[in-house]
Amino acid sequence: MSLSQEPAFSYLKDNFVVGYKDITGASYAGVSGVHMPSGNAVSTTNGAGPHNLQTFVLAPDGTVMTCLPGYWAPQDLVSELKLGQDIYKVYSDKYLSKAEKAARFRQMQQDHFRTHSPQEQRRSRMQGFDMKYEAKNRLQTSDCILDSRMASVVLQKGMKAPPGAFKTTDQIMHDRMSQRPFINYQNFDVVAYTDYGRPFYNKNEDQRTASGEVNKDLAKAQPLMGNVNEMPGAAKRARRQQRQQMAGSRMMNRAGGYLARRGIQTFVRAMR
């Protein structure tokens, strides 16, 4: 949604050559409901759905200047795009050594995070289910957790994480990018870079009522896309949906045959 909104749309149009790549089935891809470009669009928090979407800012030779995992609000996206442009100036500086460039890269990533406003940090709060996933699966090892004792609170039913338990997603992004100075896209470890929160992320954009609420029946029936085979739960759901669709198709065929026979018989009787 943010790519088509101002100020992101105009900034991309005026400053970048934009392309895309379908990551369906990639080892780092997550799972979501099928969502077509012509479908509905909704907003969410910065960094949400990191397995499903990554926005790379590349030099002409394919070197990664920065990478935004998941969704980002338009104004925050533009700020990160500008950072990518500034980093490219360092990358293309002929008078700096490789070590000097790498040092500046790391510093610029960390400095940029420190300039983020409180409003952007609120927009970058990690989703509750992603916090729970990190606490449940890697409480003592996750680089997303600032305080494991406080983070463990989310494992209690109905409890939310207190402030200071988890990093915000903008901090996660800049911390991880600072460890990856000037890596070519072909060698960029997307698996590790995007690995936070649960792999399944779905906003049910096309299963909402006019008031914006999710229609639960439609949401349960929607087909899935992404790296479905790598997620047992998602794969099971996809197989169940496929069986239901096949059963529905067989029923329609039987009904069609019945109606065809009845139609012919009725027609014949009418002619007598």
Q: Is 80 exceeded by the pLDDT of residue 56?
A: yes
Tell me: do 121 and 133 sit in the same domain.
no
Tell me: do 84 and 145 sit in the same domain.
no
Distance (Å) of CA 57 to CA 83, 103, 161, 164: 9, 19, 32, 30
Q: Which of 80-89, 159-168, 241-250 has the lowest mean pLDDT?
A: 241-250
74 preceded by a cis bond (ω within 30 of 0): no
Question: What is the rounded average pLDDT of the residues 234-245?
Answer: 49
- 159 in the Ramachandran plot: left (φ > 0), alpha (ψ -120 to 50) or beta? beta
To which H or E segment does residue 245 belong? helix 232-271
> Helices marked H in 165-229 — which ranges?
169-178, 190-193, 216-221
**pLDDT band per the 50, 70, 90 thresholds, residue 195:** very high
Tell me: do 20 and 149 sit in the same domain.
no
Give pLDDT, residue 52: 85
Q: Is 90 exceeded by the pLDDT of residue 39?
A: no
Among the candidates 146, 167, 188, a domain finishes at: 167
Assessment of whether the complete model's pTM goes beyond 0.85: no
Q: How many CB atoms lie within 10 A of CB 66?
A: 24
Cβ atoms of 175 and 151 within 8 Å: the answer is no
User: Which residue range(s) make up the domain with 159?
Assistant: 127-167
Tell me: do 97 and 183 sit in the same domain.
yes
Question: What is the rounded average pLDDT of the residues 136-159?
Answer: 96
Cβ atoms of 261 and 241 within 8 Å: the answer is no
Tell me: do 218 and 271 sit in the same domain.
no
Q: Is 50 exceeded by the pLDDT of residue 208?
A: yes
Number of domains in the chain: 3
Q: Is 50 exceeded by the pLDDT of residue 253?
A: no
Tell me: do 177 and 159 sit in the same domain.
no
Give pLDDT, residue 170: 97
Question: What is the rounded average pLDDT of the residues 127-136?
Answer: 93
Give pLDDT, residue 198: 82
Tell me: do 57 and 115 sit in the same domain.
yes
Tell me: do 121 and 50 sit in the same domain.
yes
Give pLDDT, residue 148: 96
Tell me: do 110 and 11 sit in the same domain.
yes
Tell me: do 82 and 206 sit in the same domain.
yes
Q: Which of 115-119, 210-214, 238-242 has the lowest mean pLDDT?
A: 238-242
Q: Which of 71-80, 86-95, 212-221 has the lowest mean pLDDT?
A: 212-221
Q: Is 80 exceeded by the pLDDT of residue 209?
A: no
Tell me: do 134 and 64 sit in the same domain.
no
Percent of the chain, pLDDT > 90? 58
Give pLDDT, residue 205: 60
Tell me: do 159 and 98 sit in the same domain.
no
Give pLDDT, residue 217: 75
Give pLDDT, residue 267: 33
Q: Which of 57-66, 113-122, 145-154, 261-270 has the lowest mean pLDDT?
A: 261-270
Q: Is 90 exceeded by the pLDDT of residue 222?
A: no
